[in-house]
Structure 1
Amino acid sequence: MQPIGVFGGTFDPIHFGHLRLAEEMAEELGLARVVFIPAGQPPHRGTPHTAAIHRLEMVRRATAGNPLFSVDAREVESPRPSYTVDTLAGLRAELGFEQPLWLLLGADAFLALPTWHEWRRLFDLAHIAVAARPGARLLQSDAMPERLNNEVSQRQRTKGSVSGPAGSVLLQQMTPLDISATAIRDILARHGSARYLLPDAVLDYIHEHQLYTHHEH
């Protein structure tokens, strides 16, 4: 059964760094598809700068041309704060417990994992693939919180040795695209050009709705 990737985030806004990560993960892990899940109300971060409905639409526009990519609105449509563990549990219930799932995380998100709600349950629900820059020392024990290191030491695998529907941790080297949503918001706030940092369809949507200007609330 071909695995499915799950890629959550605020996507505020979505940019080429996100899209390239998903594309490379799909290729390296042999994913049938990557499901983008924009966060509704992320509990462990500040309120996103832009309303969830706009962030959802930007993700839809950014992913529209790629048959490997799909978008799931469940967190945006939920009235409650969105916890990754609940989202994965919902996907598991729909897809069955034999379906291999990969939660795709950037390095910073992975290192903060012990602050997440019921974080150890994540390993029961999915494998975790961590995107790292070439040469990063990310999964060495002195780079991680101790609780996370204990899990990783038991679960880290190489690509060819992953089996089952969940439970492994894999460090996957990625093309380093040093693009951040924060930097894009700063450029747009000062009316600079963000072209070639994110898809034109997303940039057009941002301009159409005047997102990320100083006047937004």
Structure 2
Amino acid sequence: MKKIGLLGGTFDPPHLGHLLIAEEVYATLGLDEIWFIPSYEPPHKQKSGTRAEHRVEMVEAAIKDNPNFSINTVEIERRGKSYTIDTVKTLKTRYPAYSFYFIIGGDMVEYLPKWHRIEELADLVQFVGVKREDYQFQTQFPVLEVSIPRVDVSSTMIRERIAGGRSVRYLIPDEVFYVIKEYHLYETE
């Protein structure tokens, strides 16, 4: 049975923190692959101002050199708000022999009780919480813990830096920067 890590997000843009999380979970849990799943419209935050096809292209650029990473566009294809339960059910139907590990930030672990249909979701997927060494999870749900080095980078910070004309070198892969430049993304946030 293949073990697949799922890393969802808007990836607006994808940055080195996303890649570090994926690599640490992949290596620590001995997974077969990590699938990056860009959302079309996340249910918990404002819709991205960046077109879905540009975010997909940025993810493809970010992961192209890692044979263990791939992109799955199930949420982009669905359109509209994407709830994790719908995504996981679709993936379980398409890949019944795979087991899925849904990767979430340590800060999201405490919000699991508020997730849409969480009881059903917890039966379908293994949650993986990424955390700093000194952080302890508080949850009633089974969550595997993976410690990651702390990297203070966010998509919001990168968008703001680009809009302000500041460098984002060493925060995003060069290939992602080239996509951003090609489409003039984030220049006037």
TM-score (norm 1): 0.83
* CA distances 1:30-80 after superposition (whole Å, capped 9, x unpaired): 100001000001122111131111111100110111000010111112233
SS of 2:171 mapped into structure 1: coil
1:80 aligned onto 2:80: yes
Q: What does 1:138-217 correspond to in 2, within 5 Å?
A: 139-140=137-138, 149=139, 151-152=140-141, 155=142, 169-214=143-188
Q: Identity percentage over the alignment?
A: 40
Moved more, 106-115 or 200-209: 106-115
Q: How far apart are the structure 2 equivalents of 1:69 and 1:176?
A: 21
Q: How far apart are the structure 1 equivalents of 2:47 and 2:98?
A: 33
Q: What does 1:18-57 correspond to in 2, within 5 Å?
A: 18-57=18-57
1:91 aligned onto 2:91: yes
SS of 1:8 mapped into structure 2: strand
Moved more, 101-110 or 201-210: 101-110
- Deviation at residue 82 of structure 1 after TM alignment: 1.1
Q: How far apart are the structure 1 equivalents of 2:185 and 2:30?
A: 36
User: Which residue of 2 is the match for residue 105 of structure 1?
Assistant: 104
* CA distances 1:107-134 after superposition (whole Å, capped 9, x unpaired): 1233332332212222111100100011
Number of aligned positions between the proteins: 189
CA contact (8 A) 2:5 2:31 kept: yes
User: Which residue of 2 is the match for residue 166 of structure 1?
Assistant: none
Runs of 4 or more above 3 Å deviation: none
Q: What does 1:52-71 correspond to in 2, within 5 Å?
A: 52-71=52-71
CA contact (8 A) 1:2 1:30 kept: no
Q: How far apart are the structure 1 equivalents of 2:150 and 2:172?
A: 15
1:116 aligned onto 2:115: yes
Larger Rg over CA atoms:
1
Q: Which runs of 5+ in 2 are unaligned?
A: none
SS of 1:70 mapped into structure 2: strand
Q: How far apart are the structure 2 equivalents of 1:23 and 1:45?
A: 26
SS of 1:213 mapped into structure 2: coil
Q: How far apart are the structure 2 equivalents of 1:203 and 1:112?
A: 32
SS of 1:197 mapped into structure 2: coil
TM-score (norm 2): 0.94
